Structure 1
Amino acid sequence: MAAPRRRCAGLVRSLFGAWQLGPQAGRKWVASPGSLLGNQARCVSCVGGAISSGPLLAAASGRYGQDSALDRILGFPQPDSLLAPSVPAVSVHRDEQNLLLVHTPDMPENPRVLRVVLLGTPNAGKSTLSNQLLGRKVFPVSKKVHTTRCQALGVITEKEAQVILLDTPGIISPVKQKRHHLELSLLEDPWKSMESADLVVVLVDVSDKWTRSQLSPQVLQCLTRFSQVPSILVLNKVDCLKQKSVLLELTAALTEGVVNGKKLNIKQATHLGTPCPSPATRDPNTHSVRNPQRIGWPYFQEIFMLSALNNKDVNTLKQYLLAQAKPGPWEFHSGVLTSQTPEEICTNKIREKLLEYLPEEVPYSVQQKTVIWEEGPNGELVIQQNLLVPKESHMRILIGQKGLLISQIAQEVGRDLMDIFLCDVNIRLSVKLLK
């Protein structure tokens, strides 16, 4: 029986890409500038003296974290379900990730599910909030607009509830899409997401004085067209407000003084400087949903105030979403965290750093091409991506003085990918002139 067992283990290894890993005592990062056109950052792992022992196929949790989906599929013992739920990692192998996406969901006896669409203007913090809700930074985040270029999917699974997050691009007008030559997906994806939504989360950046006092026409149009879908309002970046009384004013304006069918204390908001809404505005029954003058939405079921960046009060929202899940079959295995491929995650992470560190239009002109994606000699993930730029001036900016900028970008991307994949990462970025 030993030979068949070895063959079986080898088959499963090749299918799932799992192998034995020793415990790791710690990590340190060493960045080497390298040549001007081939800078790299390398993660050096300090491995503890203990050597793993056990079955021919070690538990995938050595690489993918406790309660790994692969452990469940392969039948390894699971930790006590009463413990705090762990966040699954993403596989570094595209085939493995795809296999998990189509694998039969490991549903409990009474499964519940909720599809949530995050809606808001560009840079409202949708991706940051999604990352905090998921527990891993799988979506790209930057201060520049249009970081999210297409609809991305994240999955939260706790006990019997599964919440599917649709992180949409910032909703924009057709005029802006044409003016800035943006992808059509930025215009279409939010609307497509709404068609299958069970709940809409409208995110408003309260730190933006120019846009915070009213919902954008595009968001209102979306809410109006899908008015049958329940919605909640999330005021984000509240930590940036020095005067908390502003939150009351904004709440009165953005909800038209009505939340879950009940009128708010408009007098108090008026006292703080918010104009008192007209009687028609206060009463949703006398105000047409299609009124083009509307600046708020009087049909929100709940309001949440939080800071997605600091993770303040995000768990309150997360527990609310889990509680709203309705009886129904899960769509994904509990080990699924995102629908993105590992290569997409890597590309998006690099792009996130380009947007963060490069000025003005420079990051939008960079083309990315992954040329190496393989397992290294010590089990680490080896990635090489070429960054193609149209101008020599852009190349100098991206490389930075003595190659320090491109080296810093590689280091930060490597750290982020280690947290997502739960394995060592050796990433090399090469800057080349686009021919």
Structure 2
Amino acid sequence: MAAYSWRGAVLLRTVSRLWQPGPDVAREWMIRLPSLLGCQRRCVSCVAGPAFSGPRLASASRPNGQNSALDCFLGLSQPDNSLPFRVPAVSVHRDEQDLLLVHRPDMPENPRVLRVVLLGAPNAGKSTLSNQLLGRKVFPVSRKVHTTRSQALGVITEKETQVILLDTPGLISPAKQKRHHLELSLLEDPWKSMESADLVVVLVDVSDKWTRNQLSPQLLRCLTQFSQVPSILVMNKVDCLKQKSVLLELTAALTEGVVNGKKLKMRQALHSQPGPHRPSPAAQGPDVQPVRDPQRMGWPHFQEIFMLSALSQEDVKTLKQYLLAQAQPGPWEFHSEVLTSQTPEEICANMIREKLLEYLPKEVPYNIQQKTEVWDEGPSGELVIEQKLLVPKESHMKILIGPKGYLIAQIAQEVGRDLMNIFLCEVQLRLSVKLLK
């Protein structure tokens, strides 16, 4: 009986955390809680034990009926269109996450699917937009460039529709990749993603006056090579513009005055000169390579234009509804309980790296190595993580620790909060710093 009480307490803590996304979500789980508590013997592995096996997945739900709480917890239930949209959490166990990724999708009768690739310059806001579309932060976000180091996958499942988001690294040139000794994934992943794309979302940071009035040569080359893939333009960070009239000029330049095969009726904007928006000398350096027409600045084949702030839920909701509407009949690729293809350890490492990029100056965060020492369940059911941060210089070590250990403690606290919102469980994160020998 004591074991059941303890497990019930863990579940109650989980449900209480579900109130954060909204009372409707929490209310849904509170209604299902009695049946969930009644089948603890079958689903204890989901809460605190080792990974469940295939046969248990196949048979566990039958005694409880279709769409039982156990089914939902194991990720077996069929989508119920009468329930409000719920953003799934990520499992803290890698083997459970791996099993869910390969599990047969719980498709409705008329499934629809869309694979979306997000392209843009470094720091255009692709990861921020992806997180907002998903409804939960699973991708790292930083004001520094190259926060996303490789392709990351997110899944939106609503009713009969599944949208797969491919958040790619910012497009860079081979010369820049070689000069700064960057990972090859930053150069290759955006191109690989295009091979399976149904739709391309081109993101432009309109707050950057040096780059906003033209698409990069690398981006134009990518769009040209995969011209058969439909594309839309998303002008991000419009909330940062003091003069909204600038958007007319930018729209004319980035689309070459053509959207969905029709010329835009903006004569003044079409005839305006770039003026103060001309790219900086740095942007016109050796990395710039022509794409057929060296004068080309935009892409005249966008189907739609969206002007938004990736931080605005209302703005993102409009884009999300458009993506859901673009989905075509076809089989789902993932179970409805899948939110991302990343392992829990990868998510944790990325969230820590996000804070390192945010708080540490210049090149310091890029030279830090991360090593997970402990990933286990604590005595009260919480997730205990211990990660060691290896730094190459003693001066970097002092910067990272901060006065009286304040900075490293703050990073651990903030990452811990992010992880609790991802895993929907208590997280105890401990960070230590060691000099790399």
Give the TM-score band, short-chain normalised: 0.7 to 0.9
Three-state SS of the structure 1 residue aligned to 2:153 is strand
Conservation of the 8 A alpha-carbon contact between 1:117 and 1:167: yes
1:108 alignment partner in structure 2: 108
Letter in 1 for 2:148: T
Give the deviation of 1:257 after TM superposition.
0.2
Residue 195 of structure 2 is aligned to residue 195 of structure 1:
yes
5+ residue gaps, structure 2, are 18-32, 49-66, 276-290
In 1, Cα distance between equivalents of 2:407 and 2:203:
33
Deviation at 1:265, TM superposition (A): 1.4
Q: Distance in 2 between matches of 1:69 and 1:258?
A: 51
The CA RMSD measured in Å over matched residues stands at: 2.7
Alignment of 1:10-159 (within 5 A): 21-24=10-13, 53-57=37-41, 71-72=71-72, 74=74, 81-159=81-159
Q: Tell me the equivalent position of 1:184.
A: 184
Query: What are the within-5 Å matches in structure 2 for residues 273-422 of structure 1?
Result: 290-422=292-424
Instruction: Provide the C-alpha distance between the structure 2 equivalents of 1:242 and 1:116, rounded to a whole number of angstroms.
Output: 31
Q: Deviations over 1:180-212 (max 9, x none)?
A: 100000000000000000000000000000000
CA 297–76 in structure 1, closer or farther in 2 if over 3 Å, else same: closer
CA distance in 1 between partners of 2:75 and 2:392 (Å): 51
Q: Cα–Cα, structure 1 residues 383 and 151, in superposed 2: closer, same or farther, change >3 Å?
A: same
State TM-score, norm by structure 2: 0.82
Listed one character per residue, the Cα deviations across residues 257-287 of structure 1 (whole Å, up to 9, x for unaligned) are 0000010013132576669xxxxxxxxxxxx
1:161 aligns with 2:165: no
More divergent stretch after superposition (76-85 vs 356-365): 76-85
The verdict on how the C-alpha distance between 1:76 and 1:162 changes in structure 2, with shifts beyond 3 A counting, is closer
Letter in 2 for 1:54: G
The residue aligned with 1:284 is none
Question: How far apart are the structure 2 equivalents of 1:144 and 1:380?
Answer: 32
CA separation of 1:88 and 1:221: change in aligned 2, threshold 3 A: same
Equivalent in the alignment of 1:13: none
Q: Quick check: 2:142–2:354 contact (8 Å CA) kept in 1?
A: yes
Q: Is residue 138–residue 422 contact of structure 2 (8 Å, CA) maintained in 1?
A: yes
Secondary structure in structure 2 of the residue aligned to 1:371: strand
Distance 1:387 1:313, change over 3 A: same
Q: Is the 8 A contact 1:254 1:296 kept in 2?
A: yes
Q: Which residue of 2 aligns with 1:279?
A: none
Return closer, same or farther for 1:325/1:19 CA change in 2, 3 Å cut-off.
Answer: farther
What's the offset of the Cα at 1:22? 4.1
- The count of corresponding residues between Structure 1 and Structure 2 is 381
Secondary structure of residue in 1 paired with 2:91: coil
Query: Which structure is higher in RCO with an 8 Å CA cutoff and minimum separation 6?
Result: 1
Contact 1:115 1:165 in 2 (8 A): yes
- Could you tell me how far apart the structure 2 residues matched to 1:144 and 1:434 are? 24
Q: Alpha-carbon deviations, 1:68-117, whole Å to 9, x = none?
A: 99733758888963232100000000000000000000000011111000
Contact residue 120 and residue 171 of structure 1 kept, 8 A: yes
- Aligned 8 A contact 2:390 2:436 in 1: yes
Show the counterpart of 2:281: none
Distance 2:8 2:225 in 1: 50
- The Cα shift of 1:23 comes to 1.8
**Offset of residue 292 of structure 1:** 3.0
Q: Note if contact 2:153-2:341 (Cα within 8 Å) is conserved in structure 1.
A: yes
Separation in 2, partners of 1:63, 1:303: 44
How far apart, CA to CA, are the structure 2 residues paired with 1:160 and 1:361? Answer: 46
Distance in 1 of aligned mates of 2:92 and 2:74: 18
Q: Kindly tell me: are residues 75 and 313 of structure 1, through their superposed partners in 2, closer, same or farther at Cα, counting changes over 3 Å? A: closer
CA–CA separation in structure 2 for the residues paired with 1:75 and 1:155: 14
Distance 1:401 1:270, change over 3 A: same
**Structure 1 contact 308–314 (Cα < 8 Å) conserved:** yes
Partners of 1:235 and 1:78 in 2: how far apart? 36
Specify the code of the residue in structure 2 equivalent to 1:324: Q
Aligned position for 2:248? 248
Structure 1 CA distance, aligned partners of 2:184 and 2:239? 34
Residues 249-268 of structure 1: pairs in structure 2 closer than 5 A? 249-268=249-268
Letter in 2 for 1:106: D
Give the TM-score taking structure 1 as reference length. 0.82
Contact 1:69–1:333 under 8 Å retained in 2:
no
- Name the SS of the counterpart of 2:104 in structure 1: coil
CA distance in 2, matches of 1:74, 1:367: 35
| Counterpart code for 2:377 | E
The 2-side partners of 1:70 and 1:399 are apart by 44
Matches of 1:75 and 1:364, distance apart in 2: 37
- Structure 1: segments with no counterpart, 5+ residues: 1-9, 11-17, 28-49, 276-288
Moved more, 401-410 or 67-76: 67-76
Matched, 1:233 2:222: no
The DSSP-based 3-state class of the residue aligned with 1:423 is coil
Displacement after TM superposition at 1:55 (Å): 2.4
Closer, same or farther in 2 for the Cα pair 1:112/1:80, shift >3 Å?
closer
